[in-house]
């Protein structure tokens, strides 16, 4: 089992920034592809970003490309999502996810509990 705990969400004005963190425990962190998803009220959960085991490759949804950056620190068992130039449409619950194979896909093996991000206009 892998346990994932997100932090760093909050309320921010449009144009602002937030950095989300996801701390993993339970298994060898570097064995897992990591990613972020989000779910806005009344909408389906959607992919945001993913990063490979070593962090050599990253992938983003078109809606966040150029504004969000995913990174990981395998020594700290943590994955990050730096979110810049936030827009009201980025408002959602953000979930960290893990899978032991690539691609991450829409149904990773492990999920965090989510952290709320609210962007005011």
pLDDT for 25-72, tens place per residue? 998 999 999 999 999 999 999 999 999 999 999 999 999 999 999 999
* Mean pLDDT for the chain overall: 96
Whole-angstrom distance, CA of residue 32 vs CA of residue 43 = 27
Give the percent of the chain with pLDDT over 70. Answer: 100
pLDDT digits (tens, 9 = 90+) for 60-88: 999 999 999 999 999 999 999 999 999 99
Phi first, then psi, for residue 44 (nearest 5°) are -80, 155
Q: Do the beta carbons of residue 5 and residue 77 sit within 8 Å?
A: no
pLDDT at residue 105, as a whole number: 87
User: What is the average per-residue pLDDT within 108-116?
Assistant: 96
- Alpha-carbon distance 5 to 21, whole Å? 8
pLDDT band for position 97 (cuts 50, 70, 90): very high
């Amino acid at each position: 089992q892998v346990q994932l705990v997100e932090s760093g969400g909050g309320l921010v004005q449009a144009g602002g920034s937030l950095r989300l963190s996801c701390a993993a425990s339970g298994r060898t962190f570097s064995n897992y592809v990591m990613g972020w998803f989000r779910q806005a009220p009344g909408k389906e959960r959607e992919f945001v970003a993913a990063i490979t085991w070593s962090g050599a490759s990253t992938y983003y949804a078109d809606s966040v490309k150029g504004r969000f950056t995913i990174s990981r620190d395998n020594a700290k068992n943590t994955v990050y999502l730096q979110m810049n130039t936030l827009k009201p449409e980025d408002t959602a619950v953000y979930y960290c996810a893990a899978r032991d194979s690539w691609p991450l896909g829409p149904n990773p093996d492990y999920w965090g509990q989510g952290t709320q991000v609210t962007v005011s206009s």
